[in-house]
Copies of this chain bind each other. A is one copy, B any other.
Amino acid sequence: MTVPFTLALHGGAGTIAPTHPMAEAPYHEAMRVAMAAGITVLGAGGSALDAVVATVAWLEDCPLFNAGHGAVFCADERHELDAGVMDGRTLAAGGVAGVRTIRNPVRAALEVMYEGRCVLMGADAAERLAAERGLAIVEPSYFSTPHRLAQLHEVRARRGALAALDHDREPPQDEDSPHRYGTVGAVARDRRGHLAAATSTGGMTNKVPGRIGDSPIVGAGVYANDTTCAVSCTGTGEHFIRACLGHDVHARMRYGRQDAGTAAREALAQTLAPLGGRGGMVVVGRDGQLAMPFNSRGMYRAWVHEGDEVGTAIFK
């Protein structure tokens, strides 16, 4: 017996400024192409796991989103990429932290999962594994785009200006800066009813090098469990780690008997928001229900239920 497949992705949340519709069109188009990558897998009877990896790998390759090519810059003007995957069928998971030369970090996370010796792997070990497994290796400059470098300089200039005004106070976290945060991710239910989630990020503009965000961390930025839901998060990563947000959605369903929509909404409002966290998530329940709540101004997102049209949106 099969069930209809479901797929959803996000391309990052944060305080996206409303712009002219012409500027938004490329995002909608890019999300449709990424969805097509996952739909192709699911429509051929493939697994949720393969579908979310295919979708996220496409988003990594697209310079519009903060993951892979187009990643933001750390404070040292380099890139450090994190990614994680989880298979709701087996609860197997893999993550890579701080990699600099793997074209598709999400594929490296999948190799960590398949290899099975550990769940979360630091940069050097992950890069060795990726090379051994024949993944595409690139120069660190592959990830750089002029647009992201301009963002780094803008954030620095603003922090410098604020610091000059008041030496005793830590500059604010620039949460209002467009595109400062960003992540890509996908969740899916396949025709056999199995769930999976994948998340990948370039981190935060001007972040301290060595910071490991929520994206590769099981139960924080990525989580999947066939008994409840699959979750991929985006936003102010430290708050998502402290909130264990992915697992919190699962736990509200498992122990609190909420449905996926209620669990996602309440996890955001009652667990994340009180910590000051901002962002959102895409969630698919075991019943195929989708939830895509966010408390930032916007979240790039797209979704499909098998047989329906693909939907895309940025603002509420």
Contacts and interface: CB of A to CB of B under 8 A. Distances in A.
Interface string A209-224: 1111100011110010
For chain A, give the interface size range. 35 or more
Contacts of A28: none
A241 B125 CA distance: 19
A219 B244 contact: yes
B238 A118 contact: yes
Contact of A120 (B126, B211, B243, B254): B211
Contacts of A207: 117-118
Nearest to A208: B117
A244 B256 contact: no
B255 A93 contact: no
A212 B118 contact: yes
A217 B126 CA distance: 18
Nearest to A243: B91
Given A219-B219, A220-B219, A210 B121 contact: yes
Given A125-B211, A275-B91, A119 B247 contact: no
Interface of A: 86, 91-93, 97-98, 117-126, 207-213, 217-220, 223, 237-238, 241-244, 247-248, 251-252, 254-256, 275
25 contacts: A91-B242, A91-B243, A92-B242, A97-B97, A118-B207, A118-B211, A119-B237, A119-B238, A119-B241, A119-B242, A120-B211, A120-B213, A120-B241, A121-B210, A121-B211, A121-B212, A122-B122, A125-B208, A125-B209, A126-B210, A218-B242, A251-B252, A251-B254, A252-B255, A256-B256
